[in-house]
Structure 1
Amino acid sequence: MHSIDIGINKENRHDIADGLKRLLADSYTLYLQTHNFHWNVTGPQFRELHLMFEEHYTELAVAVDDIAERIRTLDVAAPGTYKAFAQLSSIDEVEGVPAANEMVERLTKGHEQVVKTCRDVLKVAQEADDESTAALVSDRMRVHEKTAWMLRATIA
């Protein structure tokens, strides 16, 4: 394979990729949590939450692929195991099946955490003049901010 020359030095590419790995792990963990809640939600808001969670995990499935491909574009291997994601993620695993309102609260916190992870990665990307990563991360941040708002609105 040829060496990579995209205007970002190796050290910066690795620093950016490290942040993206955390974002990937947070996003994948949130994807799994959302899918789990989609399957297991019950109660008076069943239909609304079941459909909303499906929209969210479907969007996250595309996002994890975009993030992993950006890591590969930087010539770094993307993590892809539960063990790696568990070590990298800032989102806590869920034990059992919480009540619907707790599901919404946990997902809200998860999306807010992803926003914070995005902010950290964005700083590193901007310092390295990596507009492609900055655009990806900025777009992800916007999606998660809006999703957290919508989740908060369901339990307000």
Structure 2
Amino acid sequence: MKTNIGIPQNFMGEIAHELNHLLADEFLLYTKTKNAHWNVEGPDFHSMHVFFESQFEQLDEIIDSIAERVRSLGHFAPATLKGFLELTRLTEQSREQNSSSGFIKELLNDHESIIIRLRAMVPSFIDKWQDAGSSDFVTGLMETHEKMAWMLRAHL
């Protein structure tokens, strides 16, 4: 059945495509955060292990909410690693050590990249695609990432 929620039909696919790129970025960041949780080493192991766990749990909720937003627009969310790697604008691992500071710097960089992209998306959803709901949605995601980035930055 066709989705009829007040957004012009010809815009729904474009919106879903943008959200699917975001979903791929979030999934890659989730994976990198899970890696940090599993593989961090050093005298701060326990506290960082717990910290990274709280971060990947937040990312898991973000991932689910983005996929559900795509579905609410009548489109499908990618759900394969291959699909995520084709859509993401982030890169996989770049650090050389398993220290907390190495993981934090890399994750912080990814959060900041996502924040910049989200900030740029907000006016597009309103002005280009007439979708105030997605604009509000990505604004909320941006605020969540800003807080997560602050928490990472505070450890440096």
Residue 113 of structure 2 aligns with which residue?
Answer: 113
Instruction: Within 5 Å, give how 1:31-50 maps onto structure 2.
Output: 31-50=30-49
Q: How far apart, in 2, do the equivalents of 1:145 and 1:116 lie?
A: 10
Q: Deviations over 1:43-96 (max 9, x none)?
A: 122122111110110011111111001111111111111111111111111167
Which range moved further: 92-101 or 49-58?
92-101
Shift of 1:97: 5.5
Residue 132 of structure 1 aligns with which residue?
Answer: 133
**TM-score, structure 2 length as denominator?**
0.91
Which range moved further: 25-34 or 90-99?
90-99
**TM-score, structure 1 length as denominator?**
0.91
Instruction: Within 5 Å, give how 1:2-41 maps onto structure 2.
Output: 2-41=1-40
Shift of 1:101: 1.1
Give % identity. 36
Q: How far apart, in 2, do the equivalents of 1:125 and 1:49 lie?
A: 37
Residue 122 of structure 1 aligns with which residue?
Answer: 122
Q: How far apart, in 1, do the equivalents of 2:83 and 2:49 lie?
A: 29
Matched, 1:52 2:48: no
Residue 75 of structure 1 aligns with which residue?
Answer: 74
CA contact (8 A) 2:28 2:90 kept: yes
CA contact (8 A) 2:41 2:98 kept: no
Residue 142 of structure 2 aligns with which residue?
Answer: 141
Which range moved further: 104-113 or 3-12?
3-12
Residue 92 of structure 2 aligns with which residue?
Answer: 93
Matched, 1:63 2:62: yes
Distance 1:64 1:25, change over 3 A: same
Give 5+ residue unaligned stretches, structure 2.
Answer: none
Distance 1:97 1:80, change over 3 A: farther
The runs of at least 4 aligned residues of structure 1 exceeding 3 Å deviation read 95-98
